[in-house]
Amino acid sequence: MMRKKQIYPRIYAEETVYSIASRLVLNDVSSSISQSMLNVFDNKNIQLDSILPSFINRLSLVSGCSHDELLDKYSLFQYYTLFSTESVRAQARALLLKENSLDAFKILGLLANRISCHDVHQFCPLCAKEQEAKFGETYWLRAHQLPLTNSCYKHRCRLVSMPKQRKRLVFPSVGYEPSFAISTLEHKLTSFNYAFSQAHHFDPVRLRQAYAVRLINQGLATTRFVRHSLWREQMRVYFDEYMSHDAVFKLLQNDTEYAFPASIFYNDEANHHPLKHLLICTFLFEHVDDFIDAYTQKEPLEVVHSELITPQSEIDELRQSTALMLLKQGLSLRQIIQVVDVSAATVRNIARQHSISLKEQERKVSDSIRRGITIQLIIGRHVADIAKKFNLKKGDVEQILSGQPIIKELRRRIRFYRHRQQARRALIATLYTLKTPTITLLRRSADKEYMWLFKHDKSWLNSFKKLYFKSG
């Protein structure tokens, strides 16, 4: 039998369920954390978390809070279901109350998005100081645990991170000196995230309508289609300081595998990670009130002149003929790319087809820097990161890479091995989240990684299954 608590614990406003549960466990003085977990929750293997917790039923019994109150006020459930339909929210809630957080993640599209969750707890040193002075203890705040939130919405100072540890329950520490060196964009992201954490939910249809109108008014869409390449490129420039962040880089990299941001309009029933909406809102709207006004009052369309849409084939033909004319006039590769809006490869192919020698502009990259860039390319660093490191444009780095077929192949192999490592790790990690592991359940839970390994790494996959699953 689970031990009954005589006195319910103190619960603070905007606290996380991880914080509440951890306090309960630490207040139970036992020989170990595992024993305290067993005493409090009747289960020492519960994974304490604040995003979509599977221990809500057990926590409700010992905290005095209802299931819904814990989910809505103290977890990140409302945040991660903010942009979902009512039926999806209801299904996710039901799954969590059945202690099935894995399927809740799946139905909300959080597994398919492959955007990793925070592996750290975050706190504001000034908030912690205030908590200690007022209550005699510190606790974790929900709004500080949101993805891409690096600063405190209240004090405008940088958050301090502490690694998550399963067997060690931690709370914010007092005594850190606050740092106020945060950018305007950083504060804007925090402001939108905080507003999202306080909202109940958004209607997906009205939300996409607000996005579409703003895109049209900014010239990034028409009433018939989205100018996806232009939109994404402008977002890459806007979020340049965040391109080193893995999730942002994955979403905004120039790769056909990722259709963001235009994919937000593809399917009315699709579930998108809140981070996608955060990036779109921060980019499209000046501030939170601007977004709320556009969403609630339906921003009017500016005057849009109706124009016939030129077929893409005609556009491509015109670009190629213009590029050929400029080549014959003796313009450099860089000048033609800028004027015609085509890739360097396209210009080179046209020049090769018509036996025209390309006029290269004098390179501004010294031999020593070229050697440094080549080394960075060989070890597989992203072109954008290399350009930033050497204070160059991406085109300068790509130009060095273009004449190196061996390095291109090496980088392709590095990307393959990285992908393989990530897929293997994801499969192993998923295995340990399953209460009763089976091959079928493993495949459903990590479908993309499983299928990638089946196609590209089948021998390892078979060995893995043979090792962890007995015959039959």
Q: What is the pLDDT of residues 259-289, one digit of tens each?
A: 789 889 887 777 889 999 999 999 999 999 9
This prediction's pTM: 0.63
pLDDT at 256: 47
**pLDDT score, position 116:** 62
pLDDT of residue 435: 79
Axis crossing angle, helix 394-402 with helix 344-353, rounded to the nearest 10: 40
CA distance 239 to 30: 48
pLDDT for position 216: 93
The answer to whether the beta carbons of residues 328 and 356 sit under 8 Å apart is yes
pLDDT at res. 5: 45
Spell out the per-residue pLDDT of the chain, length 472, in tens.
444 444 567 899 999 999 999 999 988 877 788 888 888 888 887 888 878 888 898 899 888 899 999 999 999 999 999 999 889 999 999 999 988 888 888 888 776 555 666 678 999 999 999 999 999 999 999 999 999 999 999 999 999 999 887 778 899 999 899 999 899 999 999 999 999 999 888 988 899 999 999 999 999 998 888 898 899 999 999 999 898 888 898 888 876 445 789 889 887 777 889 999 999 999 999 999 999 999 998 778 775 444 444 565 666 778 788 888 888 888 887 788 777 777 777 888 888 888 887 765 545 677 788 888 888 888 888 888 888 888 888 877 887 887 678 888 888 888 899 889 998 988 888 888 887 888 888 887 888 888 889 888 989 988 888 888 764 4
Beta-strand relationship, 120-123 and 160-163: antiparallel
Q: Rounded to an integer, what distance in angstroms lies between the CA atom of residue 211 and that of residue 295?
A: 9
- Among 371, 300, 352, 356, which Cα is nearest to 326's? 356
pLDDT at 50: 77
- Taking CA atoms, 444 is separated from 89, 118, 203, 329, 454, in Å, by 20, 23, 29, 58, 14
For the stretch 19-61, pLDDT in tens is: 999 999 988 877 788 888 888 888 887 888 878 888 898 899 8
Angle at 231 between CA 283 and CA 187, to 5 degrees: 15
pLDDT for 36 equals 87
Q: Which residues neighbour 368 within 8 Å (Cβ) at sequence distance 6 or greater?
A: none
- The values of phi and psi at residue 100, to 5°, are -120, 75
Q: Is 369 left (phi over 0), alpha (psi -120 to 50) or beta?
A: alpha
pLDDT attached to residue 340: 79
